[in-house]
Amino acid sequence: MRTALKRKKREVHRHQGNTGAMLFTLLLAILCGLAVYILSDISFMRPSREISLLISESAKKEEISPALLEAVILTESKFDKKAVSHVGAIGMMQLMPDTAEWISEESGLPANRLERPEENIPLGAWYINYLLKEYHNNEVLALAAYNAGRGNVDQWVKDYGWKEGFSDMNQIPFPETREFVKSVTASRDRLEAGLGLVASDWGLVTRNQKSEVRC
């Protein structure tokens, strides 16, 4: 009788162990499937070949980093040419109509249809170049000005005594601008490192990782 009970206990334990292993395998399969789905679903955050070429050409013309330009577009609109903000910023680079008109006057670039990447991206690239020159190639200040406006950045420089080499993004007063600068610089760094763009909303997800998921 005791032998039979011990045998039953061993069988129960073995069955429980098998069940646990099966559940673990099932959970792992679900997680892997979810990872593949997510990674394949973020392809909309990558520019098309046409947009990539436009970014490259615009960056070359304005003598700015194509990685920086692409990172700004990712952060501003996630490559959505139809993006319109609650304050009226338009297109991939989220240009305000008044700013775009001023850029057009200064650069000679067209600004008739800001929803068209062919107009929006060259205008934005010109403006980034202008801001970099304005702030002596200080990317933090230039990006802050792109988001918050030159007037605000000039006031911060004056009020807080920021020097030409200012780089502490945490000191930027506007939370939105602070996060914008951090997002752009992080994406730019990863692009320049050859890892691909990071979709910050999903965590550390890169272009190349899509083909590296193995389950």
pLDDT number for residue 149: 97
Q: Residues 193, 162, 85, CA angle at the centre, nearest 5°?
A: 65
| Per-residue pLDDT tens digits for 53-78 | 999 999 999 999 999 999 999 999 99
Amino acid at 43: S
pLDDT number for residue 40: 40
**Residues 57, 62, 63, 76: which is the catalytic one?**
76
Q: Where are the domains of the chain?
A: 2-43, 46-211
| Half-sphere exposure for 202 (CA within 13 Å, toward CB) | 22
Q: Note whether 208 and 195 are within 8 A (CB).
A: yes
| Per-residue pLDDT tens digits for 146-172 | 999 999 999 999 999 999 899 999 999
Closest C-alpha to 124, from 105, 96, 149: 96
User: Rounded to an integer, what distance in angstroms lies between the CA atom of residue 133 and that of residue 150?
Assistant: 12
Q: Which two tokens stand for residue 178?
A: 């602070």
46-211 has CATH 3.40.50.300 classification: no
pLDDT number for residue 156: 98
pLDDT number for residue 6: 53
For the chain, which ranges sit under pLDDT 50? 35-44, 197-215
76 assigned to active site = yes
